[in-house]
Structures are given as structure tokens and as C-alpha cells.
């Protein structure tokens, strides 16, 4: 899928589904634990609202032609701990206005994307230590909203899924970040390749190659892979994001695994998300 307008439609659908779900929650349900470890539902929503402000600020700078020296500390900071602190601070500041603020941010970004002159999609924008084209924020926001929507909904619904288009785009985004997403800690024989076949999608089979403790996304190699995983984009997107172990997905019948079972299980533990 290459049409940016289709991507914006997917993002809007993810927003609408999450907004509808959140609007039905009771005060106590907003305080329930999410699938994002250590975060309540309201913390995840606050994180999405804060991220929307962060992304919109970067986009506005790009559209004004301002590319200040990137400040990785704005997002990376102290890592997961810093991000969690920002979410809680945002939630406490917004209080009972959190849902309204979240919806306003969502619709503001959608309105911006829908009204953007097509020639602006490649506008350079500052983003956490680098410069990215404006279109990158569409895919990034789809992944953020889709995965965190799943974090919020899955404790209430054991069959919660990403939208099909959202799952595929999230998977493609993560493959571009394979070195961060797959982090081997006990690699074993070196080098290794793991093959993935995504059922029901236009995505061609691909390999994750692991060498010298680093992972990369590559076309299928000529040599036989250590293990092959066959499944749908939903399962693989959740797995690479660190939300669903491939071992668990295999036991549930969502993913078929062939090859070396020990190496396949090891790879499952290397998927840690971003």
C-alpha cells in the first residue's frame, strides 16, 4: 500500500474505533490496567495525547521550514521511564478533560493530513535526532494508535485486533526499525536467518538476519533459514512490537513454525518492540 490518502483513512478509522470505545468506559474502567505493563488505560490515552502534540509540533516546524538541531531528549530522555513520567504528568494536568483533549488532538491531525497539499508530503521535519519526511508521521501515528488501542482494548476483549490495514503498515514500519525491534541477547551460532511469510497480504516473504548481535530486515536469502514463521500481519505486528510472543502465538495456532524449535523460541524472546 503506497497511497498516503489510504493511510490517512486507516488512521482515522483507528481513531474513531478508539474514541468510541473510550467514550463508553466508566470512571473505574479508565483506571484499569492496560496491556502496556505498569500503565492504566488513562495513562495510555495521556501518552497518545502527548505524542500527538509532539508530532504536531515537529510537523509545524517542518512546514515553516524550520529545522532546529534535533533534541533527542524530548522523546528519548530517560527511555521508557521518561515516557511513562510524561504520560502521567499529562494525565494529571488534563484531569477529567483528558478524553476531550485526546479527541481534539486526533481530529486536528486528521484535518491537517486531509487538507495537506500533496507536494508537502515530502517536507523535511525534525524528529528525535534526525530529519524525516512529513509522510512518516502518518505511518508512525497509525502504529502508535493501533498498538496502544490494542493495549487499551485487549484487557476487556481477549480477541482484540488491529485493523487489517493498520497491522500491515505497523509491521512494515517495524521492519524498517529491525535493529531496534529485534535485540538478541544470546544469539547462538552466528549468523542466523529467520524467515517470515505473511498470509493474506501483499507483503512478500522476508528474512530477519542476525549477525554479531544485530538484526536487519532483508529479502529471503538463498540458504535455508534457522526457522520459518507463517502467520497473519496482526500476529507479527503484535509480536515485533513486543505485545505477543511468537511462542504463545504458535501455541494458540496463530503462527505456524518450522525449523529449529530452540532457535525459533530464542528469536521469540528477542522481539522487544520500540
Q: Tell which residue, 25, 77, 74, 78, has the closest CA to residue 51.
A: 74
- Structurally, at CATH architecture level, domain 4-160 sits in Up-down Bundle (1.20)
**Predicted pLDDT of residue 226:** 94
Residue from 105, 102, 94, 177 nearest 143 by CA? 177
Query: Domain locations in the chain?
Result: 4-160, 179-270
Q: What is the pLDDT of residue 142?
A: 95
* pTM of the shown model: 0.89
Could you tell me the fold of the domain covering 179-270? Nonspecific Lipid-transfer Protein; Chain A (3.30.1050)
| C-beta of residue 194 within 8 angstroms of C-beta of residue 269 | no
β partners of residue 210: 192, 215
- How does the average pLDDT of the chain come out, rounded? 90
Task: Extract the C-alpha cell encoding 128.
Answer: 528525535
Instruction: Give the model's confidence band at 80: pLDDT under 50 very low, under 70 low, under 90 confident, else very high.
Output: low
- Using CA atoms in the order 183, 178, 10, 200, what is the torsion angle rounded to 10 degrees? -100
pLDDT at residue 87 above 90? Answer: no
What are the cell numbers at 238?
503484535
Work out the number of other CB atoms within 10 angstroms of the CB of residue 41.
Answer: 23
pLDDT mean over 109-125: 96
Q: Which cell numbers in the block locate residue 98? A: 483528558
Which residues in 238-270 are b (16+ Cβ under 10 Å) and which e?
Answer: bbbbbbbbbbebbeeebbebebbeebbebbbeb
Instruction: Judge whether 225 and 207 are in contact, CB under 8 Å.
Output: yes
Q: How far apart are CA 247 and CA 269, in angstroms?
A: 9
Same fold, 4-160 and 179-270: no
| pLDDT tens per residue across span 140-169 | 999 999 999 999 999 999 889 999 899 999
Which single residue is written with the C-alpha cell 524530548? 74
| Statement: residue 76 has pLDDT above 60 | no
CA distances 53 to 56, 100, 223, Å, are: 5, 14, 46
CA distances from 232 to 21, 148, 151 (A): 25, 19, 19
The pLDDT value recorded for residue 71 is 59
Amino acid at each position: 500500500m503506497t497511497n498516503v490518502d489510504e493511510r490517512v483513512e486507516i488512521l482515522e478509522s483507528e481513531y474513531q474505533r478508539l474514541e468510541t470505545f473510550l467514550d463508553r468506559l466508566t470512571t473505574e474502567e479508565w483506571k484499569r490496567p492496560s496491556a502496556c505493563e505498569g500503565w492504566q488505560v488513562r495513562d495510555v490515552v495521556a501518552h497518545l495525547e502527548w505524542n500527538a502534540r509532539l508530532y504536531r509540533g515537529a510537523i509545524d516546524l517542518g512546514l515553516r521550514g524550520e529545522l532546529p538541531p534535533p533534541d533527542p531528549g524530548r522523546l528519548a530522555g530517560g527511555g521508557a521511564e521518561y515516557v511513562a513520567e510524561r504520560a502521567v504528568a499529562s494525565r494529571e494536568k488534563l484531569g477529567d478533560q483528558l478524553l476531550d483533549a485526546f479527541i481534539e488532538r486526533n481530529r486536528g491531525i486528521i484535518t491537517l493530513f486531509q487538507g495537506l497539499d500533496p507536494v508537502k508530503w515530502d517536507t523535511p521535519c525534525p524528529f528525535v535526532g534526525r530529519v524525516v519526511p512529513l509522510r512518516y508521521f502518518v505511518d508512525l501515528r497509525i502504529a502508535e494508535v493501533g498498538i496502544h488501542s490494542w493495549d487499551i482494548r485487549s484487557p476487556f476483549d481477549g480477541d482484540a485486533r488491529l485493523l487489517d490495514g493498520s497491522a500491515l503498515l505497523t509491521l512494515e514500519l517495524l521492519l524498517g526499525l529491525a535493529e531496534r525491534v529485534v535485540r538478541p541477547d544470546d544469539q547462538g551460532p552466528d549468523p542466523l536467518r529467520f524467515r517470515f511469510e505473511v498470509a493474506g497480504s501483499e507483503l512478500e516473504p522476508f528474512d530477519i538476519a542476525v549477525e554479531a548481535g544485530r538484526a536487519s530486515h532483508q529479502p529471503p536469502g538463498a540458504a535455508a533459514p534457522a526457522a520459518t514463521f507463517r502467520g497473519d500481519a496482526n500476529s507479527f505486528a503484535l509480536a515485533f512490537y513486543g505485545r505477543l510472543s511468537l511462542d504463545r502465538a504458535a501455541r494458540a495456532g496463530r503462527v505456524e513454525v518450522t525449523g529449529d524449535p530452540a532457535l525459533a523460541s530464542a528469536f521469540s524472546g528477542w522481539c522487544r518492540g520500540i
